Chain A
Amino acid sequence: MLTTIEKIVFVALALVSAGFTVHGFKLIIDSIRKGRPAPELKNVPASLLNAGVKVLFQQTIFKARKALSAIHMGLFFGLITYAFVNLFDVLEGLVPGFDLVYGGAHIPNAPTGLINAFNLIADVMSMFLLVAITVFLIRRFIVKDKALDYRENILLNPKVKAGGQQIDSLIVGAFVIMHVIAHLMSQSYRLTNGAYPFMPIASFLNSIFGTSETGVHVAWWISIGWVMFIIPYLSRSKHTHFFMAPVTLGLAKQNPRGQLDPAIPLKVIEGQKFDPGAKFIHDLSWKRALDAYACVQCNRCQDVCPMNFAEGAPLSPSALEVNKRYLLKEATFGSHPDRLLLPLTETVISAEAVWSCTTCHACVSICPVGNEPMADIVDIRRRMIVDGAELDSGVQNALQSLATNGNWMSKGKRLRGRWAKEMEFPVKNATEEPVEHLWFVGDTASFDERVIPNTKMVARIFQQGGLDFGIMYQNESNAGNDVRRVGEEGLFEQLVEQNMQAFGKAQFKQIVTTDPHSFNTLKNEYPQFGGKFEVKHYTMTLLKLFEEGKLTVKNKLSNYKVTFHDPCYLGRYNGGFTAPRKLLEMLGVEFVEMPRNCENSFCCGAGGGQIWMGKVAPGERPAENRIKEALTTFGESTNEKTQLFIVTCPKDMVMYSDAVKTTGNEGKIEVRDIIQLVAEAVGVEEPVVAEAVAA
Chain B
Amino acid sequence: MNIVVAIKHIPSIADDLPVKGNNVDFDSVDFVLNEFDEQSIEQAVLVKEAVGGTVTVVGVDVIGELDNVLHLALAKGADKAVKITGDDPAADSHQQAKWLAEAIKGLSPNIVFAGVQASNDLDGQIGPMIAAYLDMPYIGGVSSVEVSDHTATVNKEFAGGFGAKYSVSLPMVVGVQAASKPPRYAPISKVRQVAQMATIEKVAPSGGVSSGLSFKKMAPPVVTGHAEMIGGSSKEVAAKIVELLKSKGLA
B14 touches A412 (CB 8 A): yes
B200 to chain A, nearest CB (A): 19
Task: Write the chain B residue with the least CB distance to A386.
Answer: B187
A490 touches B190 (CB 8 A): yes
B185 touches A391 (CB 8 A): yes
Question: Which residues of chain A come closer than 8 Å to B20, judged between CB atoms?
Answer: none
CA distance A289 to B71 in the complex (A): 38
Q: Assess A415 versus B15: contact at CB under 8 Å? Given A393-B182, A404-B32.
A: yes
Contact of A488 among B15, B188, B226 (CB under 8 A): B188
B187 touches A488 (CB 8 A): yes
Q: Please tell me the number of chain B residues within 8 Å of chain A, measured between CB atoms.
A: 19
Q: Assess A490 versus B192: contact at CB under 8 Å? Given A388-B187, A391-B185, A399-B185.
A: yes
Task: Write the chain A residue with the least CB distance to B185.
Answer: A396
Q: Say if the beta carbon of A385 comes within 8 Å of chain B.
A: yes
A385 touches B15 (CB 8 A): no
Contact with B along A99-121 (1 / 0, CB 8 A): 00000000000000000000000
Task: Write the chain A residue with the least CB distance to B38.
Answer: A400
Interface centre among B15, B189, B226 (most CB of A within 10 A): B189
B228 touches A491 (CB 8 A): no
Q: Say if the beta carbon of A507 comes within 8 Å of chain B.
A: no
CA distance A393 to B190 in the complex (A): 20
Q: Say if the beta carbon of A31 comes within 8 Å of chain B.
A: no
Contact of A385 among B182, B187, B228 (CB under 8 A): B187
Q: Assess A694 versus B228: contact at CB under 8 Å? Given A404-B32, A413-B15.
A: yes
B189 touches A412 (CB 8 A): no
Q: Assess A494 versus B188: contact at CB under 8 Å? Given A692-B226, A694-B228.
A: yes
Question: Which residues of chain B come closer than 8 Å to A276, judged between CB atoms?
Answer: 189
Considering only residues 405-425 of chain A, those with a C-beta below 8 Å from chain B are 405, 410-415
Task: Write the chain B residue with the least CB distance to A492.
Answer: B188
Question: Which residues of chain A come closer than 8 Å to B12, judged between CB atoms?
Answer: 412
CA distance A659 to B15 in the complex (A): 31
Q: Say if the beta carbon of A261 comes within 8 Å of chain B.
A: no
A694 touches B226 (CB 8 A): yes
A493 touches B30 (CB 8 A): no
Question: Which residues of chain A come closer than 8 Å to B15, judged between CB atoms?
Answer: 412-415
Contact of B188 among A393, A403, A412, A415 (CB under 8 A): A403
Q: Say if the beta carbon of A673 comes within 8 Å of chain B.
A: no
Q: Please tell me the number of chain A residues within 8 Å of chain B, measured between CB atoms.
A: 28
Question: Which residues of chain A come closer than 8 Å to B191, judged between CB atoms?
Answer: 403, 490
Q: Say if the beta carbon of A291 comes within 8 Å of chain B.
A: no
CA distance A491 to B189 in the complex (A): 7
Q: Say if the beta carbon of B184 comes within 8 Å of chain A.
A: yes
CA distance A412 to B228 in the complex (A): 27
B187 touches A412 (CB 8 A): no
A490 touches B189 (CB 8 A): yes
CA distance A493 to B228 in the complex (A): 44
CA distance A393 to B192 in the complex (A): 23
Q: Say if the beta carbon of A489 comes within 8 Å of chain B.
A: yes
A486 to chain B, nearest CB (A): 11
Interface centre among A385, A412, A692, A695 (most CB of B within 10 A): A412
B54 to chain A, nearest CB (A): 19
B184 touches A491 (CB 8 A): no
Contact with A along B97-133 (1 / 0, CB 8 A): 0000000000000000000000000000000000000
Considering only residues 179-230 of chain B, those with a C-beta below 8 Å from chain A are 182, 184-192, 226, 228
Considering only residues 13-47 of chain B, those with a C-beta below 8 Å from chain A are 14-16, 28, 30, 32
Q: Assess A490 versus B187: contact at CB under 8 Å? Given A412-B15, A413-B15.
A: yes
Contact with A along B72-112 (1 / 0, CB 8 A): 00000000000000000000000000000000000000000
CA distance A123 to B226 in the complex (A): 86
Task: Write the chain A residue with the least CB distance to B189.
Answer: A490
Question: Which residues of chain A come closer than 8 Å to B228, judged between CB atoms?
Answer: 694
Interface centre among A393, A414, A494 (most CB of B within 10 A): A414
Contact of A388 among B28, B182, B184 (CB under 8 A): B184
Considering only residues 432-489 of chain A, those with a C-beta below 8 Å from chain B are 488-489
Question: Which residues of chain B come closer than 8 Å to A491, judged between CB atoms?
Answer: 187-188
CA distance A385 to B184 in the complex (A): 11
CA distance A493 to B192 in the complex (A): 11
A402 to chain B, nearest CB (A): 9
Question: Which residues of chain A come closer than 8 Å to B16, judged between CB atoms?
Answer: 412, 415
Question: Which residues of chain A come closer than 8 Å to B184, judged between CB atoms?
Answer: 388, 390
A412 touches B30 (CB 8 A): yes
A400 touches B185 (CB 8 A): yes
CA distance A400 to B38 in the complex (A): 11
Question: Which residues of chain A come closer than 8 Å to B186, judged between CB atoms?
Answer: 388
A412 to chain B, nearest CB (A): 3
Question: Which residues of chain B come closer than 8 Å to A415, judged between CB atoms?
Answer: 14-16
B182 touches A493 (CB 8 A): no
B46 to chain A, nearest CB (A): 13
Task: Write the chain B residue with the least CB distance to A491.
Answer: B188
A124 to chain B, nearest CB (A): 62
CA distance A403 to B185 in the complex (A): 11
Question: Which residues of chain B come closer than 8 Å to A489, judged between CB atoms?
Answer: 189
CA distance A507 to B151 in the complex (A): 62
A446 to chain B, nearest CB (A): 14
CA distance A695 to B227 in the complex (A): 11
B28 to chain A, nearest CB (A): 8
Question: Which residues of chain A come closer than 8 Å to B188, judged between CB atoms?
Answer: 403, 488, 490-491, 493-494
Task: Write the chain A residue with the least CB distance to B193.
Answer: A490
Task: Write the chain A residue with the least CB distance to B181.
Answer: A390
A260 to chain B, nearest CB (A): 16
Question: Which residues of chain A come closer than 8 Å to B189, judged between CB atoms?
Answer: 276, 386, 489-490
Question: Which residues of chain B come closer than 8 Å to A410, judged between CB atoms?
Answer: 14
CA distance A400 to B184 in the complex (A): 10
CA distance A323 to B15 in the complex (A): 49
CA distance A690 to B188 in the complex (A): 46
Question: Which residues of chain B come closer than 8 Å to A494, judged between CB atoms?
Answer: 188, 192
A427 to chain B, nearest CB (A): 19
A388 touches B226 (CB 8 A): no
Question: Which residues of chain B come closer than 8 Å to A386, judged between CB atoms?
Answer: 187, 189-190
A388 touches B185 (CB 8 A): yes
Question: Which residues of chain B come closer than 8 Å to A393, judged between CB atoms?
Answer: 182
Question: Which residues of chain B come closer than 8 Å to A694, judged between CB atoms?
Answer: 226, 228
Question: Which residues of chain B come closer than 8 Å to A385, judged between CB atoms?
Answer: 185, 187
CA distance A136 to B185 in the complex (A): 49
Task: Write the chain A residue with the least CB distance to B32.
Answer: A404
Task: Write the chain B residue with the least CB distance to A396.
Answer: B185
A501 to chain B, nearest CB (A): 16
Interface centre among A386, A388, A692, A695 (most CB of B within 10 A): A388
Question: Which residues of chain A come closer than 8 Å to B226, judged between CB atoms?
Answer: 692, 694-695
Task: Write the chain A residue with the least CB distance to B72.
Answer: A403
B187 touches A411 (CB 8 A): no
Top 4 closest pairs, chain A to chain B, by CB: A412-B15, A490-B189, A490-B188, A412-B14
A385-B187, A386-B187, A388-B187 known; 5 new pairs, CB 8 Å cut-off, are: A396-B182, A405-B14, A415-B14, A490-B187, A695-B226
11 contacts between A and B (CB under 8 A): A276-B189, A386-B187, A396-B185, A403-B191, A412-B15, A414-B28, A415-B15, A488-B188, A490-B187, A491-B188, A694-B226
